[in-house]
Amino acid sequence: MRLRTLMVTAAVTLLGGVAAVVGATPAMAAGPTATFVKTSDWGSGWEGRYTITNGGTTTMNGWTVAFDLPAGSSVSSFWDADLTRTGQRFAFRNKSWNGTLAPGASASFGLIGAGAGAGSPANCTLNGASCGGTTDPGTQPPGTPGAPSVTGVTQTSISLSWGASSGTVTGYRVYEGSTVRATVTGTSATIGGLTANTAHTYTVAAYNAAGESARSAAVTGTTSGGTGPQVPGTPGNVRVTGTTGSAISLAWNASTGTVTGYRVYEGSTVRATVTGLAATISGLPACAARTYTVAAYNSAGESARSAAVSGTTTGCSTGPLPAHFLTGYWHNFVNPAVELRLRDVPAAYDLIAVAFAEATSTPGAVTFAVDPGLSTALGGYSDADFRADLATLKSRGKKVILSVGGEAGRVAVNDATSATNFSNSMFNLIQSYGFDGVDIDLENGLNPTFMAQALRNLRSRVGANLIITMAPQTIDMQNPTVSYFKLALDIRDILTVVHTQFYNSGSMLGCDQSFAYSQGTVNFMTALACIQLEAGLRPDQVALGLPAGPGAAGGGVVAPSMVNQALDCLARGTNCGSFRPPRTYPGIRGAMTWSINWDVSNGNQFANTVDPHLATLP
């Protein structure tokens, strides 16, 4: 017997197509290169990948790939890099973990192009030089530093900070006009020996053995003293107040001190300058995630930046599933719950996760067959019966995916070979049985880099309707740096939904980081879901996973009506407990239960209570 804990389904949609190489690197190019490959093209958009290769003789300590897209075209999603956009110029900078490239090493990032014409990248540069590569990374000047800001003033000094330059950097020079006022190796400096209540304007340039970068944007600060103003305080409570398909609206609390206005930053780029306590950043693509900070300024300088806030424009595709839906796991094994033929799954379930695919002797590969014990318990349930039942469910409009892992699962995808094995074996099972996707329920750990590689490869082969779901435990989703959470964020452009198992975990911290909320409460479900919603997942990628009733879990069993209360709290701000999320999430995707078999054993109370309520959500 196997008692399994809650599983989550992850649905990925892949775009098929023959890969086309655009702007291939010359075979003998020296130094660093960035090569673009268009992996699929469907007319109104495309999926592509840039590969950065260090063909030089010294280590690259960071890279930035920039290119132009035609008017009307944009980047709707991307992964394995950070994006800054200025008009139709798109600059992708390395993540913290893929920026250092030894000679001969490479890194890559992916993106989705969309919009009118969906034109291909043009005028590509890598760290300011041609993407074709003609120079060694150590023999070209650094990129331009990010816009500086005034971080503090006294009667005799002004302190500055700025964003780091791309490329190899020996140090930075702070200029006042044409005079160097400071030379430092970090990204901050204090200029002393100034007169009280005087204004000074500075720019910053990075340098190395090859020369000096272009100067940064200018910043002006005023020393304190006399009756002159002080730098304002930091704006507080920056929040997203609304989104559309092309805009994100923000608001914040006023800064202390004398304030001339506020600047809204995306990275080091100013996206809006206003005099009030709100701003709307427009001209964004649909379903685009953005992160902003806000600073106040006056004649004395600029305040420290606020805490960051993230928002996503509307228009995200819900894929082949309803806007709100119910997921359940079907047992391919025998335990104290009732045994069911697949065709006997109640009609309330929109997405059925077959539990589980099993590991093979080949690293990363998985296989599936009807469990012999289940076959016997059902009077001879055969592989042919299962295939026929799966076809029957699909004819009823249901989606069926294959879950990988579970409490006892030992599937390991820890390198490129096992990632390929996983993708190949899952693709074969999908083709053979007709599964609609894959659910990742690896409760014994995973490698986010290679699992993401496997899922992206699978998506590229199956096509746009592949469903990818995930079912992490609560401990796996406490912090974005944890491997499971990192995987979800790294593949959010292809991820369908995360059904976290809100049970079998005891008490856990919520997004307010103030209390350890007890499992089995509305507070627990909403405060922990809030972590995911505020840390980068879209509301349509978050669902609540709960046990179906007594016997289904060792702890955290709740009345189905409490699941409805938690959904109301997140979607509408009603029926909350003592914890109230910082905003509402009308797109919250729905609920999942472990399991269908346990629900049937308990009189279908979970499905009969939660499914009708999902239809009432916004």
Just list the catalytic residues: 443
Q: Which of 230, 225, 222, 220 is nearest to 263 (CA)?
A: 220
Spatial separation of the C-alpha atoms in residues 421 and 16, rounded to whole Å:
19
Extract the tokens encoding 213. Answer: 């970068």
Spatial separation of the C-alpha atoms in residues 283 and 395, rounded to whole Å:
41
Residue 59: other Cβ atoms inside 10 A: 14
H or E, element range at 601: helix 596-601
Spatial separation of the C-alpha atoms in residues 545 and 610, rounded to whole Å:
12
Q: Which residue has the tokens 């000047």?
A: 141
Q: Name residue 171's beta-bridge partners.
A: 207
Contact 589, 541 (CB under 8 A): yes
Spatial separation of the C-alpha atoms in residues 376 and 380, rounded to whole Å:
5
Q: Name residue 274's beta-bridge partners.
A: 262
The DSSP line for 116-161 is: GGGPPPEEEEETTEETT--S-GGGSPPPPPPPPEEEEE-SS-EEEE
Q: Which strands, in side-by-side order, build the sheet including 106-115?
A: 20-22, 31-41, 45-55, 106-115, 73-79
Amino acid (1-letter code) at residue 285: P
Spatial separation of the C-alpha atoms in residues 499 and 403, rounded to whole Å:
12
SS3 track for 554-569: CCCCCCHHHHHHHHHH
Spatial separation of the C-alpha atoms in residues 417 and 357, rounded to whole Å:
19
Spatial separation of the C-alpha atoms in residues 591 and 589, rounded to whole Å:
7
Check residue 533 and report its DSSP letter. Answer: H
Contact 161, 303 (CB under 8 A): no
Q: Nearest 10 degrees: CA dihedral of 298, 301, 306, 312?
A: 70
Q: Which stretches of 375-427 are assigned E, i.e. beta strand?
A: 399-406
Spatial separation of the C-alpha atoms in residues 551 and 159, rounded to whole Å:
62
H or E, element range at 392: helix 383-395
Q: Which of 293, 340, 292 is nearest to 312 (CA)?
A: 292
Q: Which of 373, 466, 363 is nearest to 415 (CA)?
A: 363
Q: Which residue has the tokens 């980068």?
A: 536
